[in-house]
Amino acid sequence: MCQVGEDYAEPASEEPPPRQPGREQKCVKCKEGLPVVVIRAGDAFCRDCFKAFYIHKFRAVLGKNRLIFPGEKVLLAWSGGPSSSSMVWQVLEGLSRESAKRLRFVPGIVCIDEGAACGLSPEARAKALAEMKLILQTVGFPWHVVALEEVFDLPPSVLRCFAQEPVGTEGAYKAAVDSFLQQQHVLGAEGAGDSPSLAQGEEQLSWPCTQDPQNPQSPDRPPTAAQTEALSRLFDSVKTLTAKEELLQALRTHLILHVARTHGYSKVMTGDSCTRLAIKLMTSLALGRGAFLAWDTGFSDERHGDVVVVRPMREHTLKEVAFYNHLFAVPSVFTPALDTKAPEKASIHRLMEAFMLRLQDQFPSTVSTVYRTSEKLVKAPRDGCAAGPPGPRCLLCMCALDIDTAGLCLPSPGCSEEGTGEWVLGFSSPLVPSAPLYLQTVPRLLGLRLPCICPRRSPPPHRPLHPAVLQGWGGCRAAVGGPGPARGAALLSQGGPPSPRHRAAVLRLPCEHEGLALPGPPAALHLGRGPAPQPELLPQGLHRAADPGVPG
Amino acid sequence: MAAPLSVEVEFGGGAELLFDGVKKHQVTLPGQEEPWDIRNLLVWIKKNLLKERPELFIQGDSVRPGILVLINDADWELLGELDYQLQDQDSILFISTLHGG
């Protein structure tokens, strides 16, 4: 049904779509104002109603989920882009409202300087940083600017999943809010203003903006040239843009989490918008991460245990964000990213973005349909796993592994890495590699040289390599009860044996850490998505394969 | 016969990268037989302002999906999209919402 570029017998797109509000119409909400923006299909809002609608959505998403307790320290992940800038601005405005509806948490901002990964020159990076600092100082929250190079200094603890704190029940949330309000009332009566919980709010302006230079991870300590060089080498060793983007996301997440843990933040807010999450959902499906959609695109992401990632902007489309930022002068900084000026088929992310946006153009409910679907995704198992011991986790994305131990060989204790033909897939929780080892092995493993998995020492040619190989690569098939593994298995088994021609658009993110990559025949993986692509250029195959999959 | 028009064309969200990094352009559209509308403006921009990679900005006779168009701070969907007739001193803003611009 929703097929881009196809001709129908009677093209439905010829007739003007029922939406086409003209300027002579009035705002659908207040019926008085002159409409300035069209939201969804046909709802024209005037400027004030749009502002109210936008702010209300932000507060409603936070209020509906009740995950952020009063007085809690929340880290805002700000990239400088429009969505995260809008989120920061909403938090700023929300904290300064009248007391009944005021947001009640303690924010901080983290900004990751990814210039080295994107190939920016030092001057360009410095310029972008200067612009960002200007905005950070205007906002006034405590801020941390971290260069991506610091990922080389991460401690091994970043790869460990800490025990999850028990999720507060409804009663706990209400009790927390009530006690917080009581506390405020008491302190307000005493006239004291030193309590940290009061620091946000009335004393917002008295936050020392120079708080951060005392921070040992101060931004004024620029990364060394050697580190920048190492980071560039790391990214250059990754062959495809898709893999680079995934690696960047993984490293960025680790770094943000580390900052959050170091400074005592229990929540991280990211500015993923509805459009971005819809694209991410489809991209994750293409990359074989279907089992983790609920974590990747849901409102809250608790896979790291002690720090929870929330996405308060997930109901705002990019159009609304862009309009709001323009109409109400929200400052943002544009920095070129990995895929700036990349052609449409350069990576799976780009391709999916183009696909979704083109579809959205013709069928304006596309993004919201995908979003509604993502809302229905449930994290399995339901409040069971939090209590139990955490199973083995993927090194890069921290999602639970699904290891088919029957097809694997795990190293015996005395086994040395080289030359045995055996190597580890995934790892069991107590063994956490040191960060330098992890970052040494990652580029080699990403360099198209995934060894074969074999029960014996020689790879049996008759055996279809891809299920085990994909498990080894993907590793992140969660131990999902119910439909998860079946679907994953079905996806895997549909494909034919991997062929070297599919390298171009293949993501290779290994999950093992121990043992060095063995010089085995390069194992190409095909995307775990539908039938194996045709031998011609993979992105086209993906495009064709995508058609039947789009929900009608 | 359309008289020459003076309009301000602005780019944001990363779209300015295709225009040498210049965000605001004050342009004077020459007089021509057909009246100036957004469709013609896009053709003119492609010919005169766009420095590289036209396929990243224009698709067919419209803008690429993902690029928003604001005419005098209002959504172009309210004004007829490509068929809106330009007036003198109009301000057209193109905001790219694509990742990485």
DSSP letters for A7-52: PPSS-GGGSPPS----TTSPPTTTSSSPEEEEETTTEEEEHHHHHH
Q: Are A163 and A389 in contact (CB under 8 A)?
A: no
Chain A residues closer than 8 Å to B97 by CB = 82, 275, 318-319, 321-322
Domains and CATH numbers, chain B: 3-94 (3.10.20.30)
Q: Are the Cβ atoms of A326 and B98 closer than 8 angstroms?
A: no
Interacting residues of A223 by C-beta distance below 8 A, sequence separation 6+: A116, A147, A149, A150
Interacting residues of B37 by C-beta distance below 8 A, sequence separation 6+: B82, B83, B84, B85, B86
Q: Does B75 touch chain A (CB under 8 A)?
A: yes
Mean pLDDT (chain A, rounded): 69
Query: Given a cut of 90, is residue A295 above it in pLDDT?
Result: no
CA pair distance A479, A285, nearest whole angstrom: 17
In this structure, is the dihedral angle defined by the CA atoms of residues A316, A17, B63 and B45, taken in order, positive or negative?
negative
Chosen from A45, A242, A326 to mutate, greatest number of chain B CBs within 10 A: A326
- Mean pLDDT to the nearest integer, A271-292: 91
Residue in B13, B78, B97 nearest the CB of A38: B78
pLDDT reported for residue A545: 40
| Displacement of CA A378 from its chain's centroid (Å) | 17
pLDDT band at A1 (very low <50, low <70, confident <90, very high): low
SS3 call for B7: strand
CA distance between the termini of chain B: 37
- Mean pLDDT to the nearest integer, A399-411: 56
> What are the beta bridge partners of residue B37?
B85
Instruction: Count other Cβ atoms within 10 Å, centred on residue A6.
Output: 9
**Nearest-5° angle of CA A69, CA A70, CA A75?**
75
Torsion angle defined by CA atoms of residues A384, A389, A393 and A395, in that order, rounded to the nearest 10 degrees: 130
CA pair distance A498, A492, nearest whole angstrom: 11
Q: Does B65 touch chain A (CB under 8 A)?
A: yes
- Which residue on chain A is closest to B96 by alpha carbon? A322
CA pair distance A533, A527, nearest whole angstrom: 8
Query: Given a cut of 50, is residue A315 above it in pLDDT?
Result: yes
Instruction: Count other Cβ atoms within 10 Å, centred on residue A89.
Output: 20
Q: Are the Cβ atoms of B56 and A357 closer than 8 angstroms?
A: no
Q: Are A251 and A446 in contact (CB under 8 A)?
A: no
| Listed residue (A330, A267, A367) closest to A62, CA to CA | A267
CA distance between the termini of chain A: 5
pLDDT band at A219 (very low <50, low <70, confident <90, very high): very low
Q: Are A476 and A394 in contact (CB under 8 A)?
A: yes
Residue in B14, B53, B97 nearest the CB of A319: B97
User: Which of A3-7, A411-415, A450-454, B23-27: highest mean pLDDT?
Assistant: B23-27
Q: Are the Cβ atoms of A342 and B14 closer than 8 angstroms?
A: no
- The enclosing H or E element of A135 equals helix A122-139
The model's pLDDT over A183-205, given as tens digits with 9 standing for 90+, comes to 777 776 665 444 444 334 333 33
pLDDT band at A163 (very low <50, low <70, confident <90, very high): low
CA pair distance A295, A253, nearest whole angstrom: 13
Under 8 Å CB pairs connecting chains A and B tally to 89
Chain A, window 21-40: residues with a beta carbon less than 8 angstroms from a chain B beta carbon = 21-23, 25, 35-38
Query: Given a cut of 90, is residue A77 above it in pLDDT?
Result: yes
Q: Are the Cβ atoms of B100 and A336 closer than 8 angstroms?
A: yes
| Listed residue (A463, A293, A445) closest to A380, CA to CA | A293
pLDDT reported for residue A390: 58
Q: Does B50 touch chain A (CB under 8 A)?
A: no
- Mean pLDDT to the nearest integer, A232-251: 91
Interacting residues of A113 by C-beta distance below 8 A, sequence separation 6+: A125, A128, A129, A145, A146, A147, A148
CA pair distance A52, A60, nearest whole angstrom: 12
Torsion angle defined by CA atoms of residues A229, A115, A349 and A42, in that order, rounded to the nearest 10 degrees: 180
Low-confidence ranges of chain B (pLDDT < 70): 1-2, 101
| Listed residue (A303, A308, A218, A219) closest to A260, CA to CA | A308
More confident residue, A235 or A441: A235
Torsion angle defined by CA atoms of residues A513, A516, A521 and A523, in that order, rounded to the nearest 10 degrees: 10
- Mean pLDDT to the nearest integer, A307-314: 92
Question: What 8-state DSSP symbol labels residue A507?
Answer: -
CA pair distance A164, A94, nearest whole angstrom: 29
Residue in B17, B65, B93 nearest the CB of A340: B17
Which amino acid is present at A214? Q
**Nearest-5° angle of CA A147, CA A149, CA A152?**
135
Chain B residues closer than 8 Å to A328 by CB = none
The model's pLDDT over A451-480, given as tens digits with 9 standing for 90+, comes to 333 344 444 444 443 333 333 333 344 333
Chain A residues closer than 8 Å to B99 by CB = 276, 337, 339, 349-350, 353
Chain A residues closer than 8 Å to B51 by CB = none
pLDDT band at A273 (very low <50, low <70, confident <90, very high): very high
Chain B residues closer than 8 Å to A124 by CB = none
pLDDT reported for residue A5: 57
> What are the beta bridge partners of residue A39?
A43
CA pair distance A361, A343, nearest whole angstrom: 19
Phi-psi category of A549—alpha, beta or left, where left has phi over 0 and alpha has psi -120 to 50?
alpha
Q: Are the Cβ atoms of A275 and B97 closer than 8 angstroms?
A: yes
- Which residue on chain B is closest to A363 by alpha carbon? B65
pLDDT reported for residue B94: 93
- Mean pLDDT to the nearest integer, A512-538: 43
The DSSP secondary structure of A54-106, one letter per residue, reads HHHHHHHHHHHH--S-TT-EEEEE--SSHHHHHHHHHHHHHHTS-GGG---SE
Q: Does A388 touch chain B (CB under 8 A)?
A: no
Give the residue carrying structure tokens 């900052």.
A259
ipTM topping 0.90: yes
pLDDT reported for residue A53: 92
- Tell me the shortest Cα–Cα distance from B31 to chain A, in angstroms: 27
Q: Does A148 touch chain B (CB under 8 A)?
A: no
Instruction: Count other Cβ atoms within 10 Å, centred on residue A545.
Output: 18
pLDDT band at A172 (very low <50, low <70, confident <90, very high): confident
SS3 content of chain B, % helix, strand, coil (to 5): 25, 35, 40
Q: Are strands B91-96 and B5-12 parallel, antiparallel or unpaired?
A: parallel
**Nearest-5° angle of CA A76, CA A82, CA A84?**
10
Torsion angle defined by CA atoms of residues A74, A75, A78 and A83, in that order, rounded to the nearest 10 degrees: -30
CA pair distance A320, A328, nearest whole angstrom: 12
Half-sphere exposure of A146 (CA within 13 A, CB side): 29
Chosen from B19, B50, B78 to mutate, greatest number of chain A CBs within 10 A: B78
Chain B residues closer than 8 Å to A19 by CB = 77
Q: Are A255 and A79 in contact (CB under 8 A)?
A: no
- Tell me the shortest Cα–Cα distance from B15 to chain A, in angstroms: 10
In this structure, is the dihedral angle defined by the CA atoms of residues A66, A67, A69 and A73, taken in order, positive or negative?
negative
| Displacement of CA A396 from its chain's centroid (Å) | 12
Q: Does B97 touch chain A (CB under 8 A)?
A: yes
